[in-house]
Amino acid sequence: MTSKPDHTSAARRIDELNGVGPALASKFKALGITGETGLLLHRPLRYEDRTQIIPINRVRPAATAQVQGRVTHQEIRKGRRRSLLVVLEDDHGQLVLRFFNFYPSQRRQFAVGNRLRCFGEVRFGPEGFEMAHPQCRIVREGAEPPLPDHLSPVYPTTAGLGQQRLAAMVLDTVQRALDGRMALDDVLDAPLDLPDLRSALAIIHRPGPQTDLDALIEGEHPAVQRLALEELAAHHLALARLNRARARQHAEALEDDRGLVDRMLAAFPFEPTGAQQRVMGEIGGDLAGTRPMRRLLQGDVGSGKTLVAAAAAAQAIGAGAQVAIIAPTEILAEQHLRNFREWFEPLGIEPVWLAGKVTGKKRSKALQQLAAGAPLAIGTHALFQEGVEFDRLRLVIVDEQHRFGVDQRLALAAKGSDNDTQRIPHQLVMTATPIPRTLAMTAYAGLEVSVIDELPPGRKPVTTAVIDGERRPEVIERIRVALADGRQAYWVCPLIEESDVLEAEAAETTAAELERQLPDFRVGLVHGRMKAAGKQATMDAFKAGEIRLLVATTVIEVGVDVPNASLMIIENAERLGLSQLHQLRGRVGRGSDKSACLLMYKAPVGELARARLKVMRETTDGFRIAERDLELRGPGEVLGTRQTGMLRFRIADLARDTELVSQVPPLVKNLTHAQADVLIERWIGDASQFADV
Ligand code: ADP
Ligand code: MG
């Protein structure tokens, strides 16, 4: 146990730390870090062993190593790519350091005679073993920096926030928490086989060289489990408070006095399916009551959730209330805008549009309309930002819920809350992702569920083929045939690098190439970095059938609806998670034509990715896919988890930690209110949002 120093201070906000201005603070925010506590809970992706220096003759290819020696030679190689080549020699051998992008300052750093300590991955190059772009520092004879006694963590970070800086800040905070300079209450009596909070943090951020790294990275190590347990406990407590608060709250009973629902349905070109009718009945009943509705509307891709949402909106508007419809991406929100316009304008209702890109005069006008009680608002999360006021918001509809976190859901509920009357809006949450039981126990605790378990009539199943990317010419030929036949196709280029700039570039290149190969047809392009207007124009032209092949990044993942499109090509499909693939495939098979989905992969494909592609080939059933997803979605798939994950946990992983979930309720039962505050504050943020219970 550490002895307490004289001054223990509370955890500081990130912008209170030395040298962190607003720009840097926003980078941290992008990582979900708003203060010292966030730094503590930022989990490394992997670790590097810099605890020892390896004799150069003992380095092995494909492994990382730290070496130290003297520079004996330096030259610039002209070849296909200009490179700086440096030879490092110790008492045992020599090693080439190679740099493809380099500065004059580096040439000086690597001057012959300098002593360097370098860390990097070893590979076999034309000159024998080499390290490409190792991290190097100059070491002076006799004044060598000491070797760390623990492994060095490597953290997930974001552009503009350097790894070294981030790591230094995390480790400094860990140190402050361990020696008691920063307050850190350990309130959870963890089971005996798990370490206490401080030990867990110490192990995660600075494991000793003997630590079982696989267990640590995969999250099965007791130290990770300890934190995951605490995180799950915090979410459990927060949701329990929310539910208790909700039990005391009321909502306005919304009766469709103006008969809008019937008028809208009468104008639809089709009959609602039996499942849609049943679900509309359930929702309609909730809305007509004073108990706030919190209902999850679950239905596979293409099952027709939008119509159900529209009926709910019509009922609320018919009662004189305001409705907000929120989607996670601008494209999806725009799609709703278009549908709702078509359905509501005949009823004399014009939706108000609000997204991040709506600024200036347009924005003030939208805000003014909402404050004045405009009945229907459609947009992105911009709708629940500060400054947006409603007059009588009584129903909130959130599409594709898993993209939003609990915190955002709260902010939204707060919008329509009325503290005097304890009234809150009814909430309808729509998702295409079936919710496995573990999740239902946590993320969705307290939500009632309606399921649309029937697809609209006339849907043709989508045939799925998995194809080696080498066979691209055949795929293009297949597109040509489909387009010549009057049909339309999607070509999706998923994220390859973790950067939307590179992703956009890749999509541009692909679009240009396809345009060249398919000169008779118009090819369009949409990606996340385009302006809303450009995106919209392209989507409109695709919908109108002018653009025949749409090249897109994964921005089209959710919600886009073009029935004439019957061919879906997904490039690098091996990189996508199951639920994403399922979403994408759901874009076709909506019209009367037989549809196909081609999943192109780039060999070699890992075992997990192969299993995913196999599932896609074998079934189109969203429930089956979600189950398999949870089984397969293994550890280490950080990116995949982020993309398919339904809740943004920092450490816990519901697929991995099923066991822990059931330990939570007995564990938190005896916590005091103040102790619960500590946990909620630490893991979720400002506990005051869950206050007064
Ligand atoms: P999702 O559940 O994926 O949001 P949508 O609401 O976008 O599905 O509906 C998918 C497509 O099915 C749309 O083109 C919609 O017009 C159509 N659709 C919805 N309900 C029916 C129905 N009862 N009969 C025929 N087509 C329908
Ligand atoms: Mg939808």
pLDDT digits (tens, 9 = 90+) for 97-135: 999 888 888 889 999 999 999 999 999 988 889 999 999
The DSSP-derived string for 611-645 is HHHHHHHH---HHHHHHHHHHH--TT-HHHHHHH-
Query: From the CB of 622, is ligand 1 less than 6 Å away?
Result: no
- Per-residue pLDDT for 371 more than 70? yes
Q: Report CA torsion sign: 362, 367, 372, 375.
A: positive
Query: From the CB of 272, is ligand 1 less than 6 Å away?
Result: yes
- Per-residue pLDDT for 266 more than 80? yes
Let me know if residue 104 belongs to a domain: yes
Residue 452 alpha carbon, nearest atom of ligand 1? 2
Let me know if residue 102 belongs to a domain: yes
Most confident of 201-210, 412-421, 622-631: 201-210
Residue 309 alpha carbon, nearest atom of ligand 1? 6
Contact 429, 298 (CB under 8 A): no
439 shares a domain with 474: no
Let me know if residue 370 belongs to a domain: yes
With CA atoms as reference, report the closest residue to 401 among 377, 423, 434, 370.
Answer: 434
pLDDT band of 238, cuts 50, 70, 90: confident
Q: What is the mean pLDDT of the chain?
A: 86
439-470 pLDDT, tens digit per residue, is 555 555 566 788 898 888 877 789 999 999 99
Asked which of 106, 138, 170 is the last residue of a domain, the reply is 138
406 shares a domain with 321: yes
64 shares a domain with 104: yes
Which tokens in the block code for residue 607? Answer: 């075992």
Query: From the CB of 351, is ligand 1 less than 6 Å away?
Result: no
At 658 the pLDDT is 79
Domain count, the chain: 3
pLDDT band of 78, cuts 50, 70, 90: confident
At 534 the pLDDT is 86
581-613 pLDDT, tens digit per residue, is 888 898 898 877 889 999 999 888 888 888 899
At 691 the pLDDT is 41
479 shares a domain with 374: no
Query: From the CB of 270, is ligand 1 less than 6 Å away?
Result: yes
Q: How many angstroms separate the CA atoms of 104 and 516, rounded?
A: 42
**CA 577 / ligand 2 centre spacing (Å):** 19
445 shares a domain with 529: no
At 130 the pLDDT is 94
At 623 the pLDDT is 73
Most confident of 20-34, 57-71, 547-561, 626-640: 57-71
Mean pLDDT of 51-74: 94
- Per-residue pLDDT for 640 more than 60? no
Question: In which residue are the tokens 């019957």 written?
Answer: 566
Residue 273 alpha carbon, nearest atom of ligand 1? 23
Residue 276 alpha carbon, nearest atom of ligand 1? 23
At 300 the pLDDT is 82
Q: List helix spans (H) across 522-672.
A: 532-543, 578-585, 607-618, 622-632, 638-644, 658-668
588 shares a domain with 508: yes
Collapsing DSSP states into helix, strand and coil, what is residue 80?
Answer: coil
Please state, in angstroms and as integers, the Cα–Cα distance from residue 96 to each residue in 106, 135, 222, following that order: 15, 13, 40
Give me the percent of the chain exceeding a pLDDT of 90. Answer: 54
pLDDT band of 551, cuts 50, 70, 90: very high
**CA 372 / ligand 1 centre spacing (Å):** 32
- Per-residue pLDDT for 402 more than 60? no
180-234 pLDDT, tens digit per residue, is 999 999 999 888 889 999 999 999 999 999 999 999 999 999 999 999 999 989 8
Q: How wide is the angle at C-alpha 263 spanned by C-alphas 257 and 268, nearest 5°?
A: 145
Higher pLDDT, 406 or 547: 547
Identify the weakest region by mean pLDDT among 188-192, 556-560, 665-669: 556-560
Looking at residue 73, which CATH number applies to its domain?
A: 2.40.50.140
Let me know if residue 531 belongs to a domain: yes
Let me know if residue 414 belongs to a domain: yes
420 shares a domain with 568: no
- Per-residue pLDDT for 644 more than 70? no
Query: From the CB of 433, is ligand 1 less than 6 Å away?
Result: no
255 shares a domain with 106: no
Collapsing DSSP states into helix, strand and coil, what is residue 508?
Answer: helix
- Relative to beta strand 523-526, strand 549-552 is parallel
pLDDT band of 578, cuts 50, 70, 90: confident
Query: From the CB of 268, is ligand 1 less than 6 Å away?
Result: no
Ligand at shortest distance from the CA of 276: 1
530-544 pLDDT, tens digit per residue, is 887 888 889 889 999
Residue 271 alpha carbon, nearest atom of ligand 1? 23
Query: From the CB of 273, is ligand 1 less than 6 Å away?
Result: yes
At 6 the pLDDT is 64
pLDDT band of 437, cuts 50, 70, 90: low
Asked which of 421, 452, 483 is the last residue of a domain, the reply is 452
Q: How many angstroms separate the CA atoms of 411 and 324, rounded?
A: 13
Tell how far CA 247 is from the center of its chain: 31
Query: From the CB of 299, is ligand 1 less than 6 Å away?
Result: yes
Query: From the CB of 561, is ligand 1 less than 6 Å away?
Result: yes
At 294 the pLDDT is 83
At 441 the pLDDT is 52
- Per-residue pLDDT for 637 more than 50? no
Let me know if residue 124 belongs to a domain: yes
Identify the weakest region by mean pLDDT among 472-476, 506-510, 675-679: 506-510
Read off the amino acid at residue 602. Answer: K
At 391 the pLDDT is 92
pTM, entire model: 0.61
- Per-residue pLDDT for 436 more than 60? no
The DSSP 8-state label assigned to residue 568 in this structure reads E
511 shares a domain with 429: no
Query: From the CB of 591, is ligand 1 less than 6 Å away?
Result: no
pLDDT band of 635, cuts 50, 70, 90: very low
Domain residues for the domain of 279 are 249-452
Let me know if residue 510 belongs to a domain: yes
Let me know if residue 613 belongs to a domain: yes
Q: How many angstroms separate the CA atoms of 420 and 256, rounded?
A: 25
Question: Is the link from the previous residue into 425 a cis peptide, with omega within 30 of 0?
Answer: no
Q: How many angstroms separate the CA atoms of 283 and 426, rounded?
A: 10
Looking at residue 391, which CATH number applies to its domain?
A: 3.40.50.300
Read off the amino acid at residue 12. Answer: R
**CA 278 / ligand 2 centre spacing (Å):** 18
Give me the percent of the chain exceeding a pLDDT of 70. Answer: 87
pLDDT band of 350, cuts 50, 70, 90: very high
- Per-residue pLDDT for 501 more than 70? no
Ligand at shortest distance from the CA of 559: 2
- Per-residue pLDDT for 18 more than 90? no
483 shares a domain with 564: yes
Contact 518, 480 (CB under 8 A): yes
At 599 the pLDDT is 96
Question: In which residue are the tokens 């999360």 written?
Answer: 381
Residue nearest to atom 23 of ligand 1 (CA): 272
**CA 380 / ligand 2 centre spacing (Å):** 14
Question: In which residue are the tokens 């850190």 written?
Answer: 184
Asked which of 103, 118, 138 is the last residue of a domain, the reply is 138
- Per-residue pLDDT for 337 more than 80? yes
At 419 the pLDDT is 59
Close Cβ partners of 505 (under 8 Å, ≥ 6 residues apart) = none
Most confident of 164-178, 241-255, 329-343, 652-666: 164-178
Mean pLDDT of 560-586: 88
Identify the weakest region by mean pLDDT among 159-168, 391-400, 525-534, 682-691: 682-691
Element (H, E) at 168: helix 163-178
Query: From the CB of 307, is ligand 1 less than 6 Å away?
Result: yes
pLDDT band of 418, cuts 50, 70, 90: low
Close Cβ partners of 80 (under 8 Å, ≥ 6 residues apart) = none
372 shares a domain with 329: yes
Q: How many angstroms separate the CA atoms of 576 and 655, rounded?
A: 17
Q: For 410-435, b where at least 16 C-beta lie within 10 A, e where not — what string?
A: bbbbebbbeeeeebbbbbbbbbbbbb
At 405 the pLDDT is 52
278-304 pLDDT, tens digit per residue, is 999 999 999 999 988 988 888 887 889
447 shares a domain with 376: yes
pLDDT band of 422, cuts 50, 70, 90: low
